[in-house]
Amino acid sequence: MTTIQWQYLEQHPHPWRKQLYIKDRRVKASVIYYDMIVNNETPSQAAENWDLPLAAIEEVIEYCQTHQELLKLEAAEGRRRLEEKGVCLEPPVTHR
């Protein structure tokens, strides 16, 4: 299996998260990726908003698209841990 050498991404020590972060920042690649999707941004707009080179955003996109299973597993684990601590993740139901 070939290991990809990422120019803008790196691992950070964490007890259970394995996804990569932007180098020299405490920002997970998935945060940038999903922010870009939710805000319907182009890679150029995301690069400007996050003050990153366009090549870094392109690398984030490639990484996140090729590591979807890892991102889903980590999101589920994060939700589980929050719920275990009593954090309610669902908005309250309101009746009109």
pLDDT in tens, 14-53: 888 899 999 999 899 999 999 999 999 999 999 999 999 9
Q: Can you tell me whether residue 28 is helix, strand or coil?
A: strand
CB crowding 68-86: b at 16 or more within 10 Å, else e: eebbeebeeeeeeeeeeee
**pLDDT tens profile 68-93:** 999 999 999 988 888 888 877 777 67
Q: What is the pLDDT of residue 72?
A: 94
> Has residue 39 been placed in a domain?
yes
Higher pLDDT, 5 or 4: 5
**Domains identified in the chain, total number:** 1
Residue 76 domain flag: yes
Q: Is the pLDDT at 96 greater than 80, yes or no?
A: no
65: in domain: yes
Nearest to 6 by CA among 63, 71, 52: 63
> Does the pLDDT at position 3 exceed 70?
no
Q: Is residue 47 in some structural domain?
A: yes
In terms of DSSP bridges, do strands 9-10 and 21-22 run parallel, antiparallel, or are they unpaired? antiparallel
